[in-house]
Structures are given as C-alpha cells and as structure tokens.
Amino acid sequence: MAGPLTDALAWVVVASFLAGTVLRWRGNEHARTVMISAWGVFAIFWAALVPHFAFVQKSFVEGFLSLAAVPASLYVGYLLHQGRDSLFLLSRAIAVMGVVYLPFETIPALTVGGLSLPSPRHVLISHTTGQTRWAMELLGYDPTLVRGDQGYLNTFKFVTDGGHVILFSIILACTGLGSIAIFVGLIAAVEAPLGRKLRALAIAVPIIYVLNILRTTFIGLMFGKQYMQWFVDEVLFLFGGTDPYKVSFYLSDRVISQVLAVVALVGVTYLVVRELPELLTIVEDVLYIVTREEYDLREALDLPERGDVGPGAD
C-alpha cells in the first residue's frame, strides 16, 4: 500500500464488508446500510491511492483503474441503496479478498520466545525471488542477488557493458498475490459445491502463479540487460522520468506487462466461470456498473441455465 493511512483504510474497508456480510447472513435489517457505508469508505481508499499509482509508481494502468474505482464504488453503494441485492455477492467477495491480501501487506515480522519469525510479506517475496532467479538461470542468465531497501535478499544486480549498475527488486506487488486474492475472494463468495470451488481454484491459482513468474523474469531481464531502450526521449517524457536506464523498465513493466495482466485476468476469469458458472452473477454486475446495461452471459458462453447449476450440482 502507499503508507500507514491506506493500510488503516484498507482494514476499515475489509472490516466494514465483513460486518455487512455477517449482518446479511443473520438477516439483520442494518446489513444494507453497513454495506453501503463500506462502499463509500472503499471509494475514499481508492482516491487515496491515485497519487501513489499515478505519480510515485508512474503506472498509467493502475492510476487509471484506481481513479475509475472511486465513482464505481460510489455507484455500487447507490445501486445497493436502490435494491440491487445481487451486489451483496460482490461485497462478500471483496471482504474475502481483503482477508487474504492484507496480512501479507501489513503484518510485520514477529519475535516469539526469542525466536525471530519473518513476516508473511518476507516469506512470499523470498519465494518469488527464488523462482524468478531459477527462471533467469534456466534462460542462461546469472545476475547477482543482493539485499534491497527492505533488508530482504530480493534484488537482482545487473551491470551494463559501460559499468552502470541496475537494481531490480521483487516487492509484494511482484508476487501475484493481488490477482490470486481476487479469485480466492470470488470463488469463496459464491454458493456452490466445495468440489467445484476447489477445481476452480486449481485452475486459477497455478495459471496466475506461472504467469507471474514469467512476468517478473521478463521485466527483470528486459530492464537489467537494457533490451528495450526504444524511443528513450519520448518514453521519459511520457512517464516524467529522467533516468534513461529506466526506459526498458517503463516499457516492459508499466506498459507491456500491465496491459497483458489485464488480458490474462480476463482469460483466467473465462476459464474459471466454465467450472463455476455462479461467478457470472458478479461478472454481470461488474459489466452493468461499467456500461449501465444488463447482460446475460450464460448463453454467450454456452453455460447451463441458472436453474441447472445450484448448490447441489457437482
């Protein structure tokens, strides 16, 4: 996250969605009010992230998406107020996503009985770094691994032919956790047999994991070996940068990888809904939020009718 403020907001958001989910499950009349409030806080959370993504990370894709999420969140709250009850499902999914993601983002390293335990973030980053290093070595590269700013052994050191040192660090955003949390939340939220839920997870998680290692390897090599030094002046102007050595990073990460990540998420979603058609309720709601038009995707995707796929279907 961008800092302590957004970390705190994130926990408030997740707690609000969880509270609304519990109240909804218990049939409490205040569930709708709590969920509407949760979406309002969610809008504030995304607004706080816009400057970080747009100006600090210099990510046009994430900056645009976080900006678009502000009115979208407010609109979902409005639709819930108007009685679109299907959005309780999306709200429940976001609660689960937060429960999966936030411990890795916010829980620090602990000391128990004199034994120092690494933080969940450290464990995940170290694993991703190791897998990325393995992939680079498989392709015939052998960059030096050094400690980064956070004290982790998570930074690849490259040296150009001219002697310039380039450092590429694996951070939490490089682990694929965010995408995995999205699908865990979606799959957990719907009502379906456990067997089909597990099969859906078995489709989504390995694909995201492998694609993410390919992504970190691609970015690391393109940046470290300076393979994409194209249109240097234009790219620096576009991203507001001054370091010409970062052009390969901007192109490989901020442009190519982030655009392909969106395409990959759409593709994984298609594969998952083939196994778990109940997810189409959330997909159709998201499309309605974006386009203000109703959709019925089951016929287009050649899936069973709504009445044919129920809690007992396996």
Q: Do 269 and 222 fall into the same domain? A: yes
The model's pTM: 0.90
Same domain, 140 and 177: yes
C-alpha torsion sign, points 252, 273, 189, 66 = positive
**pLDDT category of residue 311 using cuts at 50, 70 and 90:** very low
Q: Let me know whether 275 and 150 are in one domain.
A: yes
- pLDDT score of 110: 74
Other Cβ atoms within 10 Å of 93 Cβ, number: 23
| Domain end point (choices 55, 77, 107) | 107
* pLDDT band with cut points at 50, 70 and 90 for residue 112: low
Would residue 215 show up in a list of annotated catalytic residues for this protein?
yes
Catalytic hit among 24, 92, 121, 174: 174
Verify that 278 and 129 share a domain, yes or no.
Answer: yes
Q: Residue 314: pLDDT above 90? A: no
- pLDDT for residue 86 is more than 50: yes
Q: Is residue 80 part of a domain?
A: yes
Catalytic residue among 215, 254, 298, 306: 215
In a domain, 186, yes or no: yes
Q: Is the pLDDT of residue 185 over 50?
A: yes
Residues 80 and 195 in one domain: no
78: phi > 0 → left, psi -120 to 50 → alpha, else beta; which? Answer: alpha
User: What's the CA gap between 39 and 32, in Å, rounded?
Assistant: 11
**90 and 221 co-located in one domain:** no
pLDDT in tens, 115-143: 778 899 999 999 999 999 999 999 999 99
Task: Tell whether 113 is covered by a domain.
Answer: no
Angle between helix 31-51 and 4-25 (nearest 10) = 160
Query: Which tokens is 223 given?
Result: 């940046």
Of residues 31, 38, 34, the one with CA closest to residue 12: 38
299 assigned to some structural domain: yes
How many domains does the structure of the chain reveal?
Answer: 2
Among residues 306, 294, 304, 251, the alpha carbon closest in space to that of 274 is found at 304
Residues 123 and 152 grouped into a single domain: yes
CA 181 to chain centre: 7
Supply the pLDDT for residue 111. 65
- For residue 304, is it within any domain? yes
Structural domain span for residue 92: 1-107
Does the pLDDT value for residue 177 go beyond 70?
A: yes
Instruction: Indicate whether 170 and 274 sit together in one domain.
Output: yes
Give the DSSP per-residue string, 106-128: H---EEETTEEE--HHHHHHHHH
In a shared domain, residues 152 and 284: yes
- Report the pLDDT value the prediction gives residue 117, as an integer from 0 to 100: 83
Q: Which residue has the tokens 């507001």?
A: 240
Any domain includes 112: no
For the chain, the average pLDDT equals 92
Contacts of 36 (CB under 8 A, 6+ apart): 77, 80, 81
Last residue of a domain, one of 107, 139, 167: 107
Are 26 and 95 members of one domain?
yes
User: Does residue 157 share a domain with residue 96?
Assistant: no
Pick from 46-55, 99-108, 115-124, 135-144 the range whose average pLDDT is largest: 135-144
- pLDDT tens string 207-222: 999 999 999 999 999 9
